[in-house]
Amino acid sequence: MSKALDKVSHSILIEKLDGNFLMGFNSYLLNRRQRVTVLGVTSTQLPVTPGVPRGSILGPMLFSSMLMPG
């Protein structure tokens, strides 16, 4: 299941959302960046293109909306 959350296409998810939700989720999903720190060394920031934010309250809802027809 965790791998499935990493594969959610932002563009398809945004197509399934409408109205005022679309604007909010658009900014929530797009232009995300991440970096990693290992043994005190931090990588440069890289864009996060697919997936929903893990550990978020909205992650499971966004993922399940991908499974609904339409």
Domain range for 59 = 2-67
Tens of pLDDT, residues 4-34: 767 777 777 777 766 666 667 677 777 888 8
Note the pLDDT of residue 52.
72
**In the predicted model, is pLDDT for residue 46 greater than 70?**
yes
Residue 48 C-beta-side C-alpha neighbours within 13 Å: 16
Instruction: Report the pLDDT value the prediction gives residue 7, as an integer from 0 to 100.
Output: 76
Residues 70 and 54: their CA atoms lie apart, in Å, by 25
pTM of the full structure: 0.43
Q: Is the pLDDT reported for residue 45 higher than 90?
A: yes
Number of domains in the chain: 1
